[in-house]
Amino acid sequence: MNGFRPAMLCAFAAAGLAAAAPVVFAQGLDAKAAADLMDQYYCAGCHAVDKKMVGPAFRDVAKKYAGDATAPKQLALRVRRGGQGVWGTTPMPENDEIPDPELAALIAWILMQR
């Protein structure tokens, strides 16, 4: 991941979090597998399912993009490139470390959190 990294993200990396357990992505993620991926790829430092932290709650993201067929692609680009201004002024750092299958599965899981 290049560029901006909040101190909390660096703390997660320094803590040596274990890699996520193998996941069958074609069948989707359960809550445990999603939590493991969020820890592994530093999402949990800024996001939670049901409350706003540094970034929006995943339930709020799911509500905002409900019914939008382009949401998975939009969100994947936002994760890859980072961004600012959609949910406020705090920038979201880019994350190019998460492999495409894991990113797609995590985004699908997030969009189901309404």
Reported as a single tens digit per residue, the pLDDT across 4-60 is 444 444 333 333 333 333 444 545 789 999 999 999 999 999 999 999 999 999 999
Q: What is the pLDDT of residue 68?
A: 97
Residue 24 lies in a domain: no
Residue 1 lies in a domain: no
Residue 74 lies in a domain: yes
Domain extent, residue 87, equals: 7-18+29-111
Contacts (Cβ under 8 Å, ≥6 apart) of 104: 25, 72, 76
State mean pLDDT over 72-79.
97
What's the pTM value of the predicted model, to 2 decimals?
0.75
Residue 37: give its domain's CATH number.
Answer: 1.10.760.10
CB 49 within 8 A of CB 58: yes
Mean pLDDT of the chain: 82
Residue 52 lies in a domain: yes
Residue 23 lies in a domain: no
Contacts (Cβ under 8 Å, ≥6 apart) of 28: 105, 108, 109
